[in-house]
Structure 1
Amino acid sequence: IDRVDLKTAHLLARKSGIKVEETTGTKHYTFPMRTDTSPFDDNNVRLALKHAVNRDEIVEKVLFGHGVVGNDHPIAPSNPFHAATLPQRTYDPDKARFYAKKAGGIKVKLSAADAAFPGAVDAAVLYKEHAAAAGIEIEVVREPSDGYWSNVWMKKPWGACYWGGRPTEDWMFSTAYMGGASWNDTFWKNDRFDKLLIEARAETNQAKRREMYFEMQQIVRDKGGVVVPMFANYVFGTSDKVAHGTLAGNWDLDGDKFHERWWYS
């Protein structure tokens, strides 16, 4: 059973003959802001909203603990050049209020539908409640799931989004963060970031390359247009007769290779 309903995963795990397993991979849920559109073209607005979300509560109530908090960049803990020492951004209404005041106040709409990711509407409502403590007004717009990816994603100024992630930093950044990339859903462009991204492809010194990807993650975290509150585990159920080796975390069901790698014990 792929993508087990997280609300009932604990009940499924109690059933005789069934085991529920999970892997931490690259899948992450996001709230991208169009940085070419007011008020999200102001980094004070973006920073205010990044400080205004309680990531721990969203992981607990939307993922039911099946995941970890995100740090406003798309590189997962499982990626080889993940910036583990980059300070974790936490819920801080005072900082959010500070940046909101610099922006002249914040009143915005957040579009969401569960087509974006399971629990996206609930996450948006929680976000609204968190931000209110900082004096930030968020109106949650419940969009139809039908046509969400055609009519809302990369169309509305702020919305909810799902990313399966990518197994390499270059692939992820090139797909959705490089200036002009077709799936750059924040329409963000940063010259320093783009320069580092290109140079890192040719860098053979691994220590230097790590430093470059670390800086890229920091730039996205502090200047980018996406709120990344969480990385979601891949959760699946199998017969207790199914065995396997070490699970890959680059996609669902052992990197979508379960039919090649698993066996009956």
Structure 2
Amino acid sequence: MTALRRRRVLQSALAAAVLGASGLAGAAAVAGATRGGYFRAALGGARGTDSWDARTHAGLFMSAAAQGAVFDTLTEVAAGGALRGELATGWSASPDARVWTFDLRPGVRFHNGKAFGAEDVLASLALHRDAASPARPIVAEIEEMRATAPHQVQFTLATGNADFPYLLADYHLLIYPAGQIAEAMARGIGTGLYRVERFEPGRRFIGHRVAEHYKDGRAGWFDGVDFLAMNDPRDRLEAMRSGRVDAIDRLPAAEAAALQAEPRFTVQSLAGNQHYGFALRTDLAPFADPHLRQALKAAVDREAMVAEVLHGHGSIGQDSPIGPANPYFAALEPQGFDPDRARWHLAQAGHERIALPMLVSEAAFDGAGRAAELYRESAAQAGIALELRRLPPETHWPRDSAGFRAGGWSGRATEDWAFSTVLTEAAPWNATRGGSGRFGTLLREARAEFDSTRRAELYAEMQRISRDEGGLILPMYANHLQAHSARIATPKRVGAMRAMDDSRMAERWWMA
């Protein structure tokens, strides 16, 4: 399916949801999949403070262990981008998409034996009213949520939102047992396919397949899974080459061709919405000056970064968190490398030359160090001296402490989901502190807009604002580059919303 056709299909799916379409009850059986075996993976994004509290989840290690194995959410984005039910079996909306009713799956039990029901949904989502939760922008839009039956919940939103069922697939919105949430966070008690056998924060997760599950016959093929936390991509690659693990995420782009040439490995290079680049705090001097931001945008050689950092596994970015796989991607003309224009904007900001510190770490994205070096070389031609301050990859990556830093993000399946997560004033992951003024007005209008043509116009304007005025400098859309051994088989379609089949490889893959 072409990117354009996929976007049109997703636009139709979103419109259908607003008109009251039901969610799919589940996925079909997977051809060729068989039960058995133990799956071992080396994953990045781990921290020593990792826990089963979804409000703290940020990296792949915990999202793969939590949403991908131990817990469930109400909805799930399938590998092709369509939405289907997980703990929800169906949903419908009022004509204005402001009141949503979700039917819940009966007969489900948590790993401690407690029956799942509506009260568990209400208690779990209420956790994210916490200001520090990355999912707070989603839950903050819910004016009221109530149980209308033991297995039915109803949400009343502040304004209509055509994407609301998609938002409930966010990997932070895990469902815990009501009245036992503290215990569930301490021990890892969910409704997922795998029960926690061992958990060492920031180091290791081992899960064993539950005996019976509502996904039997269509997911959860391994008898057990073993995730090793390895933040250094070189360590992950060595672990797979040595046979210690079966799969790795974030394969270094420079190693992809050589690994693909080895018959015992398969390399997956999957285009989604992932983007790499840099973030400026627009509320701090000197980055509060729009001319300085424009100077920095014009001073980056995007083509060089795609070639030297991604080795062709990606494309040129356009300074917006909306990517080519989003249904309303605008395909705007990216900012080009123009030292003269950068110098002009620098002068308008009151500087002939300027030195700026930049925080850099491979924890931001693989190749961040080389990308920063290329940026330093091109920016020097415009009178901008970038002073690189490097952190080791195992260091906890500070999201808020630096005015100018490297960063990468997987994006989200819909525009509202993406913008709400990283470009609203209240979003904890808003690294630029942008999203106010007209941008916020457009976001609210687009949420409640049912006409796909008008919605496309609104989202296109927001992408232009991000490109021309915002604090994101995103030179690259980066493919998800990952690999597995010949011991592992995967479906023909592998999810690319996030790495490793949307973090769900434990339930979607099987032994070859």
* Superposition TM-score, scaled by structure 1 size: 0.92
Give, in angstroms, the shift of residue 17 of structure 1: 3.0
Q: Any idea what the Cα deviations from partners look like across 1:138-171, whole Å, max 9, x if unmatched?
A: 1111234444424xx3111111112121111111
Look up the match of 2:282: 35
Q: Is the 8 A contact 1:30 1:229 kept in 2?
A: yes
**In structure 1, distance between residues paired with 2:483 and 2:286:** 43
**In structure 2, distance between residues paired with 1:189 and 1:170:** 12
Q: Any idea what the Cα deviations from partners look like across 1:181-216, whole Å, max 9, x if unmatched?
A: 221111124311101101111110011001100000
Please point out which of 322, 328, 339 is paired with 1:93.
Answer: 339
Provide the secondary structure at the position in 2 that maps to 1:12. Answer: helix
**In structure 1, distance between residues paired with 2:404 and 2:490:** 43
Quick check: 252-261 or 124-133, which moved more?
A: 252-261
CA pair 236-36 structure 1, distance change in 2 beyond 3 A: same
Look up the match of 1:17: 264
Is structure 2 residue 326 aligned with structure 1 residue 79?
Answer: yes
Look up the match of 2:407: 161
Look up the match of 1:255: 502
Please identify which structure carries the higher helix content. 1
Please point out which of 417, 421, 429 is paired with 1:171.
Answer: 417
**In structure 2, distance between residues paired with 1:27 and 1:149:** 18
One-letter code aligned to 2:387: E
Provide the secondary structure at the position in 2 that maps to 1:74. Answer: coil
Look up the match of 1:223: 469
**In structure 2, distance between residues paired with 1:261 and 1:226:** 34
Give, in angstroms, the shift of residue 80 of structure 1: 0.6
Look up the match of 1:182: 428
Q: Any idea what the Cα deviations from partners look like across 1:94-113, whole Å, max 9, x if unmatched?
A: 11111111112232111111
Look up the match of 1:124: 372
Give, in angstroms, the shift of residue 260 of structure 1: 4.1
Aligned-pair identity in percent equals 42
**In structure 1, distance between residues paired with 2:509 and 2:357:** 45
Look up the match of 2:239: none
Is structure 2 residue 314 aligned with structure 1 residue 67?
Answer: yes
**In structure 2, distance between residues paired with 1:138 and 1:18:** 39
Please identify which structure carries the higher strand content. 2
CA pair 183-264 structure 1, distance change in 2 beyond 3 A: closer
Look up the match of 2:12: none
Aligned 1:200-239 pairs, distance under 5 A: 200-239=446-485
Provide the secondary structure at the position in 1 that maps to 2:345. Answer: helix
**In structure 1, distance between residues paired with 2:252 and 2:280:** 28
Q: Is the 8 A contact 1:111 1:156 kept in 2?
A: yes
Quick check: 247-256 or 140-149, which moved more?
A: 140-149
**In structure 2, distance between residues paired with 1:62 and 1:144:** 18
Query: RMSD of the alignment, in Å?
Result: 1.7
CA pair 41-205 structure 1, distance change in 2 beyond 3 A: same
Look up the match of 1:3: 250
Q: Is the 8 A contact 2:300 2:378 kept in 1?
A: yes
**In structure 2, distance between residues paired with 1:257 and 1:143:** 30
**In structure 2, distance between residues paired with 1:264 and 1:142:** 40
CA pair 148-121 structure 1, distance change in 2 beyond 3 A: farther
Give, in angstroms, the shift of residue 28 of structure 1: 1.2
* Superposition TM-score, scaled by structure 2 size: 0.49
Provide the secondary structure at the position in 2 that maps to 1:159. Answer: strand
**In structure 2, distance between residues paired with 1:264 and 1:107:** 53
State the structure with more CA Rg.
Answer: 2
Look up the match of 2:91: none
**In structure 1, distance between residues paired with 2:251 and 2:391:** 24
Q: Is the 8 A contact 2:319 2:334 kept in 1?
A: no
Aligned 1:128-167 pairs, distance under 5 A: 128-150=376-398, 153-167=399-413
Provide the secondary structure at the position in 1 that maps to 2:416. Answer: helix
CA pair 260-195 structure 1, distance change in 2 beyond 3 A: same
Structure 2 spans left out of the alignment, 5+ residues: 1-246
**In structure 1, distance between residues paired with 2:479 and 2:313:** 6
Q: Any idea what the Cα deviations from partners look like across 1:97-135, whole Å, max 9, x if unmatched?
A: 111111122321111111111111211111010011112
Please point out which of 423, 439, 453 is paired with 1:193.
Answer: 439
Provide the secondary structure at the position in 2 that maps to 1:216. Answer: helix
One-letter code aligned to 1:244: P
Higher relative contact order, chain-length normalized (CA < 8 Å, sep 6+): 1
Provide the secondary structure at the position in 2 that maps to 1:160. Answer: strand
**In structure 1, distance between residues paired with 2:298 and 2:312:** 21
Give, in angstroms, the shift of residue 72 of structure 1: 0.7
User: How many residues are treated as equivalent by the alignment?
Assistant: 262
Give, in angstroms, the shift of residue 263 of structure 1: 5.3
Quick check: 5-14 or 219-228, which moved more?
A: 5-14
Provide the secondary structure at the position in 2 that maps to 1:94. Answer: helix
**In structure 2, distance between residues paired with 1:149 and 1:128:** 21
Provide the secondary structure at the position in 2 that maps to 1:3. Answer: coil
